[in-house]
């Protein structure tokens, strides 16, 4: 006769069967997967925000390398800044835009939104931060 058991009962029964070393290894594997997912998410998010900022600059200033006598703004290099991604502050080199007469800085709404946006999620503690920093650093380099 077959007996029906719940998923929780089956998981508990399997945990009792697995040796402690295997359970520990599985726990480490889950931790590594979580770290990788967070790092990937932060890296992709940073790449998207950088692309959105570049697109906004193109919308405000016009395509790079094309002269327009009636433009209202010009590109003005890059500046260090920070964004909130994955529950932490991430350094970026943000594009700068100035009025065509050079008198004032024009804020980018994409940067403003991302800069002050807070996350309701907190990052796991430990080596996740190091893993995420490595991924973010590689994406930051491509963003600048």
Q: Which residues span the domain enclosing 94?
A: 36-60+71-143
* 139: in domain: yes
Query: Which tens digits make up the pLDDT trace of 92-109?
Result: 899 999 999 989 999 888
Query: Which tens digits make up the pLDDT trace of 37-88?
Result: 888 888 888 899 899 999 999 999 988 888 888 888 999 999 999 988 878 8
Q: How many domains does the chain have?
A: 1
* 21: in domain: no
Helix H, strand E, coil C: the string for 61-111 is HCCCCCCCCCCCEEEEEEEEEEEEECCEEEEEEEEEEEECCCCCECCCHHH
Rg (CA), the chain: 23
* 48: in domain: yes
Across 21-87, the runs of DSSP E, i.e. the strands, are 73-85
Q: What percent of the chain has pLDDT over 70?
A: 69
* 104: in domain: yes
The torsion angle over the Cα atoms of residues 47, 52, 58 and 63, rounded to 10 degrees, is 40
Scanning the structure block, which residue is given the tokens 């040796």?
19
* 86: in domain: yes
* 29: in domain: no
């Amino acid at each position: 006769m077959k007996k029906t058991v719940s998923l929780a009962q089956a998981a508990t029964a399997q945990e009792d069967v697995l040796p402690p070393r295997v359970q520990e290894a599985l726990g480490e594997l889950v931790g590594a997967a979580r770290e990788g997912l967070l790092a990937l998410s932060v890296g992709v998010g940073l790449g998207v925000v950088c692309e959105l900022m570049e697109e906004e600059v193109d919308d405000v200033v016009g395509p790079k390398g094309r002269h327009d006598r009636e433009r209202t703004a010009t590109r003005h290099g890059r500046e260090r800044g920070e964004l909130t991604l994955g529950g932490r502050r991430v350094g970026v080199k943000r594009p700068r835009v100035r009025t065509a007469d050079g008198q004032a800085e024009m804020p980018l709404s994409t940067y403003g939104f991302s800069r002050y946006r807070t996350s309701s999620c907190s990052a796991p503690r430990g080596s996740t931060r190091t893993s995420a920093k490595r991924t973010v650093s590689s994406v930051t380099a491509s963003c600048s």
